[in-house]
């Protein structure tokens, strides 16, 4: 029993360390993803087309009740900031939401390719959030999640080489 514990500890530490990196799987559907526990941000090759997905496990009630929202991505946001109307944030407009075990959004084609390039160029972090503009013209941000950028360039490249 005492011999098993050190092996288990090493395995646990290796799993924890790799959880901070982007991952690539090729089990029928090639996918590059980062899961931070609260949300998952992914790029996948589905039917020969590149698709980008953002899934939040426990969405804000405004997101859970919406049929569509905008999506925002910010690569390497300055410390203490995140999604904003300016400052390098990119938006995908009026995308339908899927509600099942959380809320998710899937974007295909040119926007997915553009966002894959943004994620590849990030050095430290990628901030992704559901957003909308309120009646006063102010940006409302929901379920903003940060994903590490370590390994994103090489991992997403593998996927783009397969799916382009």
Name the residue with higher pLDDT: 23 or 47.
Answer: 23
pLDDT of residue 19: 53
Helix axes 110-121, 152-163, angle to 10 degrees: 150
State pTM to two decimals. 0.84
Is residue 139 classed exposed, middle or buried when 0-12, 13-18 and 19+ CB atoms within 10 A define those classes?
Answer: middle
- Looking at the chain, the whole-number percentage of residues with pLDDT higher than 90 is 67
Answer yes or no: are the C-beta atoms of 115 and 52 closer than 8 Å: yes
pLDDT band, residue 164 (cuts 50/70/90): low
pLDDT above 60 for 17: no
Please compute, for residue 164, the number of CA atoms within 13 A of its CA located in the half-sphere on the CB side: 1
Tell me the Ramachandran region of residue 67: left when phi exceeds 0, alpha when psi lies from -120 to 50, beta otherwise: alpha
């Amino acid at each position: 029993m005492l011999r098993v514990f050190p092996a288990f500890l090493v395995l646990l530490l290796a799993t924890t360390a790799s959880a901070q990196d982007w991952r690539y799987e090729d089990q029928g559907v090639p996918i590059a993803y980062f899961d931070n526990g609260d949300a998952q941000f992914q790029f996948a090759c589905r039917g020969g087309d590149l698709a980008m997905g953002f899934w939040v496990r426990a969405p804000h009630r405004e997101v859970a009740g919406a049929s569509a929202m905008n999506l925002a991505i910010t690569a390497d946001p300055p410390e203490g900031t995140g999604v904003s109307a300016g400052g390098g944030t990119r938006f995908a407009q009026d995308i339908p939401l899927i509600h099942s075990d959380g809320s998710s959004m899937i974007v295909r084609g040119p926007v997915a390719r553009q966002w894959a390039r943004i994620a590849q160029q990030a050095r430290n972090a990628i901030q992704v959030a559901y957003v909308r503009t309120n009646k006063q013209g102010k940006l409302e941000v929901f379920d903003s999640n940060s994903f590490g950028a370590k390994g994103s360039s090489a991992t997403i490249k593998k996927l783009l080489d397969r799916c382009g």
